[in-house]
A = this chain, B = another copy of it.
Amino acid sequence: MAPADTPLAGKQRIMDVAAGLFIERGVDGASLRQIADLVGMKAGSLYYHFGSKNELLSAVFERGIEVMMTAFSEANAASSTLPGRDRVAAHVRAHLAALFENGPYTAAHVTAFRTAPAEVRHTIVPVRDGYEAMWADLLRELSHSGAIAESTPLGLHRLLLFGSMNASVEWFDPGRGNLDDLAIAITNQFWDGLAQEAPA
Protein backbone atom coordinates (compact mmCIF):
# COMPACT_ATOMS: atom_id res chain seq x y z
CA MET A 1 0.00 0.00 0.00
CA ALA A 2 1.30 3.44 -0.91
CA PRO A 3 1.83 6.14 1.74
CA ALA A 4 -1.24 8.31 2.25
CA ASP A 5 0.34 11.48 0.87
CA THR A 6 1.36 9.91 -2.46
CA PRO A 7 -1.85 8.52 -3.89
CA LEU A 8 -0.23 7.65 -7.22
CA ALA A 9 3.50 7.99 -6.93
CA GLY A 10 6.35 7.97 -9.39
CA LYS A 11 6.28 5.52 -12.25
CA GLN A 12 2.70 4.50 -11.51
CA ARG A 13 1.31 8.00 -11.93
CA ILE A 14 3.36 8.70 -15.06
CA MET A 15 2.21 5.46 -16.68
CA ASP A 16 -1.37 6.26 -15.82
CA VAL A 17 -1.28 9.63 -17.51
CA ALA A 18 0.78 8.36 -20.45
CA ALA A 19 -1.61 5.49 -21.14
CA GLY A 20 -4.56 7.88 -21.25
CA LEU A 21 -2.76 10.13 -23.69
CA PHE A 22 -1.64 7.22 -25.89
CA ILE A 23 -5.30 6.28 -26.22
CA GLU A 24 -6.43 9.78 -27.10
CA ARG A 25 -3.65 10.97 -29.36
CA GLY A 26 -1.75 7.86 -30.40
CA VAL A 27 1.88 6.95 -29.83
CA ASP A 28 3.39 9.82 -31.81
CA GLY A 29 0.66 12.28 -30.96
CA ALA A 30 1.30 11.98 -27.23
CA SER A 31 4.40 14.01 -26.42
CA LEU A 32 6.56 13.68 -23.33
CA ARG A 33 6.10 17.38 -22.67
CA GLN A 34 2.33 16.92 -22.57
CA ILE A 35 2.56 13.81 -20.39
CA ALA A 36 4.87 15.59 -17.98
CA ASP A 37 2.54 18.56 -17.93
CA LEU A 38 -0.47 16.44 -16.95
CA VAL A 39 1.58 14.66 -14.30
CA GLY A 40 2.70 18.01 -12.93
CA MET A 41 6.41 17.87 -13.71
CA LYS A 42 8.83 18.91 -16.44
CA ALA A 43 9.64 16.70 -19.41
CA GLY A 44 13.25 16.18 -18.39
CA SER A 45 12.17 14.75 -15.05
CA LEU A 46 10.49 11.80 -16.74
CA TYR A 47 13.93 10.44 -17.56
CA TYR A 48 14.59 9.77 -13.92
CA HIS A 49 11.83 7.12 -14.10
CA PHE A 50 12.10 5.86 -17.68
CA GLY A 51 15.11 5.69 -19.94
CA SER A 52 13.20 6.71 -23.06
CA LYS A 53 9.74 7.22 -24.50
CA ASN A 54 9.86 3.70 -25.90
CA GLU A 55 10.60 2.32 -22.45
CA LEU A 56 7.58 4.12 -21.05
CA LEU A 57 5.47 2.88 -23.94
CA SER A 58 6.60 -0.71 -23.40
CA ALA A 59 5.88 -0.49 -19.69
CA VAL A 60 2.33 0.69 -20.42
CA PHE A 61 1.72 -2.13 -22.91
CA GLU A 62 3.11 -4.81 -20.62
CA ARG A 63 0.97 -3.58 -17.77
CA GLY A 64 -2.05 -3.62 -20.07
CA ILE A 65 -1.50 -7.26 -20.94
CA GLU A 66 -0.81 -8.13 -17.31
CA VAL A 67 -4.17 -6.61 -16.36
CA MET A 68 -5.98 -8.70 -19.01
CA MET A 69 -4.26 -11.90 -17.89
CA THR A 70 -5.08 -11.33 -14.26
CA ALA A 71 -8.72 -10.68 -15.11
CA PHE A 72 -8.82 -13.81 -17.24
CA SER A 73 -7.32 -15.99 -14.51
CA GLU A 74 -9.81 -14.77 -11.94
CA ALA A 75 -12.72 -15.40 -14.31
CA ASN A 76 -11.33 -18.82 -15.07
CA ALA A 77 -11.17 -19.80 -11.43
CA ALA A 78 -14.68 -18.48 -10.78
CA SER A 79 -16.36 -20.09 -13.79
CA SER A 80 -14.55 -23.39 -14.33
CA THR A 81 -17.50 -25.53 -13.26
CA LEU A 82 -20.17 -23.57 -15.15
CA PRO A 83 -21.79 -24.45 -18.50
CA GLY A 84 -19.94 -23.32 -21.64
CA ARG A 85 -22.06 -20.29 -22.28
CA ASP A 86 -21.55 -18.92 -18.77
CA ARG A 87 -17.84 -19.54 -18.92
CA VAL A 88 -17.63 -17.43 -22.07
CA ALA A 89 -19.76 -14.74 -20.47
CA ALA A 90 -17.46 -14.62 -17.44
CA HIS A 91 -14.37 -14.21 -19.58
CA VAL A 92 -15.96 -11.60 -21.83
CA ARG A 93 -16.91 -9.64 -18.72
CA ALA A 94 -13.36 -9.95 -17.43
CA HIS A 95 -11.90 -8.68 -20.70
CA LEU A 96 -14.24 -5.69 -20.61
CA ALA A 97 -13.23 -5.05 -17.01
CA ALA A 98 -9.61 -4.92 -18.14
CA LEU A 99 -10.54 -2.45 -20.88
CA PHE A 100 -12.70 -0.12 -18.79
CA GLU A 101 -12.38 -0.75 -15.07
CA ASN A 102 -8.72 -1.51 -14.33
CA GLY A 103 -6.98 1.64 -15.53
CA PRO A 104 -6.19 2.80 -19.06
CA TYR A 105 -3.39 0.30 -19.67
CA THR A 106 -5.27 -2.39 -21.53
CA ALA A 107 -7.13 0.13 -23.67
CA ALA A 108 -3.81 1.82 -24.47
CA HIS A 109 -2.33 -1.51 -25.52
CA VAL A 110 -5.31 -2.32 -27.72
CA THR A 111 -5.47 1.05 -29.47
CA ALA A 112 -1.84 2.14 -29.68
CA PHE A 113 0.09 -1.09 -30.17
CA ARG A 114 -0.27 -1.22 -33.93
CA THR A 115 1.53 2.04 -34.64
CA ALA A 116 4.23 1.59 -32.00
CA PRO A 117 7.87 1.37 -33.17
CA ALA A 118 8.78 -2.12 -34.39
CA GLU A 119 11.36 -2.39 -31.63
CA VAL A 120 8.65 -1.95 -29.00
CA ARG A 121 6.19 -4.26 -30.74
CA HIS A 122 8.72 -7.06 -30.90
CA THR A 123 9.39 -7.00 -27.17
CA ILE A 124 5.64 -7.07 -26.47
CA VAL A 125 4.51 -9.77 -28.89
CA PRO A 126 5.61 -12.72 -26.70
CA VAL A 127 3.72 -11.28 -23.73
CA ARG A 128 0.55 -10.74 -25.73
CA ASP A 129 0.84 -14.27 -27.12
CA GLY A 130 0.49 -15.53 -23.57
CA TYR A 131 -2.94 -13.93 -23.31
CA GLU A 132 -4.09 -15.29 -26.65
CA ALA A 133 -3.03 -18.74 -25.51
CA MET A 134 -5.30 -18.50 -22.50
CA TRP A 135 -8.29 -17.89 -24.75
CA ALA A 136 -7.18 -20.59 -27.14
CA ASP A 137 -7.14 -23.05 -24.25
CA LEU A 138 -10.62 -22.01 -23.14
CA LEU A 139 -12.10 -22.39 -26.61
CA ARG A 140 -10.38 -25.73 -27.11
CA GLU A 141 -11.92 -27.02 -23.92
CA LEU A 142 -15.36 -25.87 -25.05
CA SER A 143 -14.81 -27.59 -28.37
CA HIS A 144 -13.68 -30.84 -26.77
CA SER A 145 -16.65 -30.80 -24.43
CA GLY A 146 -18.99 -30.56 -27.40
CA ALA A 147 -20.36 -27.11 -26.62
CA ILE A 148 -18.78 -25.82 -29.83
CA ALA A 149 -18.63 -27.84 -33.04
CA GLU A 150 -15.31 -29.62 -33.67
CA SER A 151 -15.21 -28.15 -37.16
CA THR A 152 -15.24 -24.53 -35.95
CA PRO A 153 -12.01 -22.65 -36.76
CA LEU A 154 -11.35 -21.54 -33.20
CA GLY A 155 -8.44 -19.23 -33.92
CA LEU A 156 -10.44 -17.27 -36.44
CA HIS A 157 -13.47 -16.89 -34.22
CA ARG A 158 -11.25 -15.88 -31.32
CA LEU A 159 -9.98 -13.01 -33.46
CA LEU A 160 -13.54 -12.01 -34.36
CA LEU A 161 -14.51 -12.01 -30.71
CA PHE A 162 -11.45 -9.92 -29.80
CA GLY A 163 -12.46 -7.51 -32.54
CA SER A 164 -15.95 -7.06 -31.10
CA MET A 165 -14.70 -6.63 -27.56
CA ASN A 166 -11.76 -4.34 -28.29
CA ALA A 167 -13.64 -2.09 -30.68
CA SER A 168 -15.89 -1.14 -27.79
CA VAL A 169 -13.17 1.24 -26.55
CA GLU A 170 -14.09 3.40 -29.54
CA TRP A 171 -17.77 3.80 -28.73
CA PHE A 172 -18.66 2.47 -25.27
CA ASP A 173 -18.92 5.02 -22.47
CA PRO A 174 -18.75 3.27 -19.08
CA GLY A 175 -20.37 6.32 -17.51
CA ARG A 176 -23.51 5.87 -19.60
CA GLY A 177 -23.68 2.17 -20.42
CA ASN A 178 -23.62 -0.93 -18.27
CA LEU A 179 -20.70 -3.30 -18.68
CA ASP A 180 -22.69 -6.33 -17.53
CA ASP A 181 -25.25 -5.68 -20.25
CA LEU A 182 -22.52 -5.26 -22.85
CA ALA A 183 -20.88 -8.51 -21.79
CA ILE A 184 -24.20 -10.31 -22.13
CA ALA A 185 -24.86 -8.87 -25.57
CA ILE A 186 -21.40 -9.86 -26.79
CA THR A 187 -21.84 -13.34 -25.36
CA ASN A 188 -25.29 -13.70 -26.96
CA GLN A 189 -23.82 -12.65 -30.28
CA PHE A 190 -20.88 -15.01 -29.97
CA TRP A 191 -22.77 -18.00 -28.66
CA ASP A 192 -26.16 -17.89 -30.38
CA GLY A 193 -25.96 -15.37 -33.18
CA LEU A 194 -28.80 -13.12 -34.24
CA ALA A 195 -30.91 -15.39 -36.41
CA GLN A 196 -34.42 -16.03 -35.19
CA GLU A 197 -34.79 -19.69 -34.12
CA ALA A 198 -38.11 -20.41 -35.79
CA PRO A 199 -40.03 -17.80 -37.80
CA ALA A 200 -43.31 -17.33 -35.88
Interface residues of A (CB under 8 A from B): 24-29, 84-85, 111, 114-115, 146-149, 152-153, 156-157, 159-168, 170-171, 182, 185-186, 188-196, 199-200
Q: Is the CB of B193 within 8 A of A189?
A: yes
**Distance between Cα atoms of A156 and B114 in the complex (Å):** 25
**Distance between Cα atoms of A191 and B152 in the complex (Å):** 14
Q: Is the CB of A167 within 8 A of B156?
A: no
Q: In the complex, which residues of chain B have a beta carbon less than 8 angstroms from the beta carbon of A111?
A: 114
Q: Is the CB of B195 within 8 A of A115?
A: no
Q: Is the CB of B185 within 8 A of A156?
A: yes
Q: Which residue of B lies closest to A146 (CB)?
A: B199
Q: Is the CB of A186 within 8 A of B160?
A: yes
**Distance between Cα atoms of A84 and B84 in the complex (Å):** 28
Q: Is the CB of B157 within 8 A of A185?
A: yes
* Nearest chain B CB to A33 CB, angstrom units: 14
